[in-house]
Amino acid sequence: MKFIANREELLKALLITSKISPSKSIDMSTTYIKIDLNERGLFFTSTDGKLSIISKVPFIIDDTQIIRDIVYGSTLINAQLFTEIVKRIDGKELSFELIDDSIVKIENEKSDFKLNAIDPNEFHDIDFSFDGVKITLLTKNFIEAINQVSFAVSLNTKDTRQSLGGVNIESVPSKLVFTATDGARLAKKEIYLELDEKINATISAKTLQEVIRTITTENSIDIYINERRALFVLNNTLINASLINESYPSTKNIIPKNFYYTLTVNSNELISAMERVSLFSTERENVIKLTMTNEYVEVSSKSLQVGSAVERIKSFDFNGERLEISFNSEFVKSAIKSLDVEEVTINFLGEMKPFTVVNKDDDSVIQLITPVRTY
Amino acid sequence: MKFIANREELLKALLITSKISPSKSIDMSTTYIKIDLNERGLFFTSTDGKLSIISKVPFIIDDTQIIRDIVYGSTLINAQLFTEIVKRIDGKELSFELIDDSIVKIENEKSDFKLNAIDPNEFHDIDFSFDGVKITLLTKNFIEAINQVSFAVSLNTKDTRQSLGGVNIESVPSKLVFTATDGARLAKKEIYLELDEKINATISAKTLQEVIRTITTENSIDIYINERRALFVLNNTLINASLINESYPSTKNIIPKNFYYTLTVNSNELISAMERVSLFSTERENVIKLTMTNEYVEVSSKSLQVGSAVERIKSFDFNGERLEISFNSEFVKSAIKSLDVEEVTINFLGEMKPFTVVNKDDDSVIQLITPVRTY
C-alpha cells in the first residue's frame, strides 16, 4: 500500500475515526486503526468494542486531487500515534508507504516516521451494512432531540440498570419518542414521524453525543436500526453503535396530566438566582428551596456550618396556594437550559410530587423532576 | 463593622488575597480571610501557613468613593465562600455588615447572604513589618529572572532536599544571582545590583510565581529579606513568604568554562522537531537523540514497540567533530523557551558531559542540562 495525501483532509477523516480509539486497552485491536486503500477511496476504521466508525477520504474533493500515487492495500497501525504524526508533521502533503507488511513509513521532506504495522485481519469484523428499519431525520431535529434528553441519563457507572445510561428511541403512531431518565428525573422529546415498522432501541448517550459531534454539513441523517445495533449514515462516515441489550423501563404513566400550581419565570433570572444560592447547599449537594406565593417568589439554601442565602425573583407569574418545594438545582438548571427558551413554565402537584419544566409554546418536550425531602 | 463597597474593587483585592486560602484544611484558620476596616482602609488578610498576603482596598480610587457608610471593625469569614459571593452577586455595590460578632450579612436589592463569622483573634499572627535587608528591583527584571530559572526547580514532592523546590537568591559583588536546580539541570540568572549587606535566601518557586502573578502596574518591587522570611511590597499588597530553612547546595563550580562543540540553531525549528520526535520516546519519557555533524543535524527517537522518528534540522551552524547526545527533550525545550530568543546556542563537552543552552548575546542567563545515558 502506498499513497501521497493532502495532510489536512487526511487529518479530518482521521480525527473523526481515531477519537474513539483508546490509547491503551486490554483489547489491543481497539488501539489500532485500520487503513484500507481501494478503488473507492481511502478508508479509516476504528472501534472501541461497542462503537465503530468508518470514515472515507475521497480521491478528489471539489476538483482537487486529495490522494495520488496510489498502490492499493490494507494495514493496521496505532491510531493515536498515527493521528499525532499527521497532526504534527509540517507541510501540505505527506507520503505513506507500507513496507514488508510490517512497517509504515510516513514522510515529508523534513521528517521520517516509522510505525510498526500488523496484519489487517487482526481487526474486529464490523457490520456497516444498511440493514434494519430505516429512519430519516433532519439533522437539526435529531441534534435537538439528543440535546434535550441525553443530559438526563444516569451517569452512575455502578448502576446495575444499564439501560438508564442510554437514550430510548421508540416509535408510536406518527411519532418517534426520545426518552432518558436516571430514576430521579426524566426527559422526553417527540418528533413527528410516520413509520411502517416498529422501533424500540436504547443507545448509549455518550455514543449519541459522539454521533452529533461528527455531523458537519449534513442536512439529514439516515439511521438503520436492527436488533443488535444502530447504524448512522453521514456523508463520508458510518457509525455503528451497539444497542443496550436490556429492556427500557416503562415511563408511560409517570408524567402527570393535571397540576395545581403553575410558575412562569424568566429562564436566566431563575438560573442565576439558583447558581448564587447553591453556594450554600453544601450539606446536601445542590439542594435548594423554592418558595412561591402570589406576592413573592424566593429561592434559598441554608447550611448550619457556613451560612445561608436568599434570592428574590423579580418577574414571575404564579397561580396557586403558597408552596415550598426543595430540589436538586442542577436538575432544574439543565432542564431549563435544554428548553432554550426565554420564559419557562414549571407545573407542580404538591411539595412531594414530581413537577414538570416546560416551554408553554412547545409541547414536544417535557422535563420531569422529583423533588427532594428536606427536614 | 459595616460598609457599602464597590463590588469590582472589592473583588480585585479579594481575588489577590483569597487565592492562597485552601477551601479545606486541617488548620481551620487558613480557610478564613481576615477583614479589617480601620482609618487607613479596608484590608483582607489570608495565609496558607507558609505564604501570607494582605491586600488593601482604599476608600477612594481616582476621586471615586469605593467604600462608604463605614463602621470600623474586624472579623473572620470563610475566604472561598466570601469570594464566590462577591463574584456572583449582581450590581455595582454591595453592603456588608457584621452582626453580634457572629454573622456577616452581605446584601444587595435582590440577594441576602449570611456567612458565619468568628473572632478575628483566632487568626495567625503575621509579620508584615519592613524588616531585613532591602532590595529594590525593576519588576520587569524580577519577573524575567523568576521566569528564566523557576521552571528548573524540583517538582518531586518526595525529594528530601527541600531546598531544590526553591529558587536561591544570593548576593555576590555587584550582582544578585538567581539559581534553580532539580539535580539534573540548573538555571542561573544574574541581575546587576550593588548591595551593602549579604543575602542568601531560598524561596519556594510556587510562591515566587504567586508574587509575579500579583504584580499589576508596579514599575519596581521592594523586597525585605530577614532570616525567616521575604516580604514583597506591591502597591496595595504585601506578600510574606517563609524562607526554605535548609542550606542551598553549592553550584559554583558546576558550569564548565570551555566547550569542544557548539551548535547554533533556530529556536522554533529545534523545538518543533523535538516535539515531533518525542512522540516515540515512550520507553524512556521524553528522551531523544541529537546527532550533529558538519553536514547535517538530526533529532531522533526510537521505540521497539511502536516505531521511530527522525527530523532533519534545515538551518544550523555546528563547530566540532561528529557528536551524538541523548537528553530529556522537555528540559531542552523549557531551557530554550526561557531564553525567549530567535537563535539559541548549545555548548557541549562530550556525550556524557553536561551541556549549556545560552543566548550568545546575553551572558546573564545560563541553562545547564545533564545528558541521559542510552544503551
Is residue B250 included in any domain, yes or no? no
Is residue B253 included in any domain, yes or no? no
Is residue A341 included in any domain, yes or no? yes
Determine the Cα–Cα distance for residues A36 and A19; give it in Å rounded to an integer. Answer: 18
- A74 touches A122 (CB < 8 A): no
Residues B53 and B83 placed together within one structural domain of the fold: yes
Q: Do B111 and A311 touch (CB under 8 A)?
A: yes
Q: Secondary structure of A141-201 in the HEC alphabet?
A: HHHHHHHHHHHHCCCCCCCCCHHHHEEEEEEECCEEEEEEECCCEEEEEEEECCCCCCCEE
CA distances from residue A90 to A83, A264, B157 in whole angstroms, order as listed: 13, 56, 38
- Give the three-state DSSP class for B326: strand
Residues A106 and A11 placed together within one structural domain of the fold: yes
- A149 touches A190 (CB < 8 A): no
The owner of cell 516509522 is A114
For the record, the C-alpha cell of A47 comes out as: 472501534
Residues B37 and B116 placed together within one structural domain of the fold: yes
- B145 touches B330 (CB < 8 A): no
In the listed set B100, B122, B144, which residue is the last one of a domain according to the structure?
A: B122
Residues A274 and A365 placed together within one structural domain of the fold: yes
DSSP assignment string, A272-328? HHHHHHGGGTTTTTTEEEEEE-SS-EEEEEEETTTEEEEEEESSEEEESS-EEEEEE
pLDDT greater than 70 at residue B375? no
Chain B residues with CB inside 8 Å of A85's CB?
A: 276, 279, 309
Q: What is the DSSP letter of A124?
A: P
Is residue B248 included in any domain, yes or no? no
Angle, nearest 10°, between helix axes B79-88 and B7-18?
150
Chain B residues with CB inside 8 Å of A78's CB?
A: 306-307
For A279-323, the pLDDT digits (tens) are 888 667 789 999 999 999 999 999 888 899 999 999 999 999 999
Q: Which residue of A has its CA nearest to B276?
A: A88
Residues B190 and B82 placed together within one structural domain of the fold: no
Residue B285 pLDDT: 78
Is residue B46 included in any domain, yes or no? yes
Q: Do B111 and A309 touch (CB under 8 A)?
A: yes
For B114-170, the pLDDT digits (tens) are 999 999 999 989 999 999 999 999 999 999 999 999 999 998 877 778 899 999 999
Is residue B128 included in any domain, yes or no? no
Residues B117 and B137 placed together within one structural domain of the fold: no
Of A116, A279, A307, the CB nearest to B116: A307
Residues A96 and A169 placed together within one structural domain of the fold: no
The pLDDT tens digits along chain A (375 residues) read 999 999 999 999 999 999 888 877 777 778 899 999 999 999 999 999 889 999 999 999 999 999 999 999 999 999 999 999 999 998 999 999 999 999 999 999 899 999 999 999 999 899 999 999 999 999 999 999 999 999 999 988 777 788 999 999 999 999 999 999 999 999 999 999 999 999 999 999 999 999 999 999 999 999 999 999 999 999 999 999 999 999 999 988 899 989 999 999 999 999 999 999 998 886 677 899 999 999 999 999 998 888 999 999 999 999 999 999 999 999 999 999 999 999 999 999 999 999 999 999 999 999 999 999 876
- A176 touches A183 (CB < 8 A): no
Residues A101 and A205 placed together within one structural domain of the fold: no
Chain B residues with CB inside 8 Å of A308's CB?
A: 113-114
Is residue B71 included in any domain, yes or no? yes
**Residue predicted with more confidence, B306 or B335:** B335
Determine the Cα–Cα distance for residues B287 and B314; give it in Å rounded to an integer. Answer: 22
Chain B residues with CB inside 8 Å of A110's CB?
A: 273, 311-312, 314
Q: Which residue of B has its CA nearest to A106?
A: B309
Q: Which residue of B has its CA nearest to A308?
A: B114
CATH number of the structural domain spanning residue B30: 3.10.150.10
In the listed set A61, A93, A122, which residue is the last one of a domain according to the structure?
A: A122
Residues B61 and B161 placed together within one structural domain of the fold: no
User: Which region, left, alpha or beta, applies to residue A42 given φ > 0 means left and ψ of -120 to 50 means alpha?
Assistant: beta
Residues A21 and A113 placed together within one structural domain of the fold: yes
Residue A21 pLDDT: 86
- B115 touches B47 (CB < 8 A): no
Residues A199 and A219 placed together within one structural domain of the fold: yes
- A91 touches A24 (CB < 8 A): no
In the listed set A122, A147, A168, which residue is the last one of a domain according to the structure?
A: A122
Residues A143 and A168 placed together within one structural domain of the fold: yes
Q: Which residue of A has its CA nearest to B301?
A: A113
Number of domains in chain A: 3
- A337 touches A294 (CB < 8 A): no
Report the alpha-carbon angle B231-B233-B238, nearest 5. 75
Domain coverage including residue A183: 133-242
User: Which region, left, alpha or beta, applies to residue A32 given φ > 0 means left and ψ of -120 to 50 means alpha?
Assistant: beta
Is residue B186 included in any domain, yes or no? yes
Determine the Cα–Cα distance for residues A47 and A34; give it in Å rounded to an integer. Answer: 9
